Structure 1
């Protein structure tokens, strides 16, 4: 696995280190030891799969506060998504800054999302599927969210958002 830290401390792109032969390739997609070597939380409480019928579907931006802060490890296993994280750590130098990356079945990239980062993605293709682990159980009482279109964040989504849940569209705007 090849770990590349983003400009948001603790958030990593993870690329496969493929071993190829005439059959195709083999690559390690997750390794707790390698996560720990990079200071990442390898715990897995849940593994989730989301299917998006139509491109333009927005999911997020979500995060959980204490006592159930969660790290996520995201991968797209069909089609393509534009994945965005926002640093929600109030004491961080990059508080409220974001990072976005395309994850696709073709590029096989993954994104490690640290605790106290809001996370969401936009389906770039019909039938896009995301597969991701979470280090804590979903805990509705501590869930928080940001609006994907909050002007305070300035996220430039690569396509128009056409489908979003009422819950995700209803998160309050950031007050500065």
Structure 2
């Protein structure tokens, strides 16, 4: 396995891991209550026991519409991700997808969790589905898929995805940083 330093959301990461930062795609919950509090904590971008408790209370005590239930599960997964509890995060995303199989942000975040768990081929499939469903964060989807491709040894696909992430969000430095590690050779060389 090649080890390289990645920057995501201002957090230095080593290896293939995508870590916490402002990168995960929070799913908006409409209306007041614990579901909204859960969303606000996920959007804030750091681990929070209070946020996790709000998510759990929303899921247990509120009569959430299916879309809000799926969004709350995604947001709980994000909070687990910030706490580096990747298996718990993955379980939350999988629950969200059982509630709403068209929840694009659940697939993006599922891809991130799968990369962190070293399940790169599955991460590619999850991100592909997020892109098919028109995720609100396509740059994050391409970036995540680039990391998974690179860990699988698919350097050309990784390069193309880093390039797409950079094109979609030019001010985001992480894809540009990754692109500087690549050398593009003329056909027939290399």
TM-score w.r.t. length of structure 1: 0.30
- Choose between structure 1 and 2 for higher RCO, CA contacts under 8 A separated by at least 6 residues: 1
Structure with higher helix content: 2
In our comparison, the structure showing a higher alpha carbon Rg is 2
TM-score w.r.t. length of structure 2: 0.28
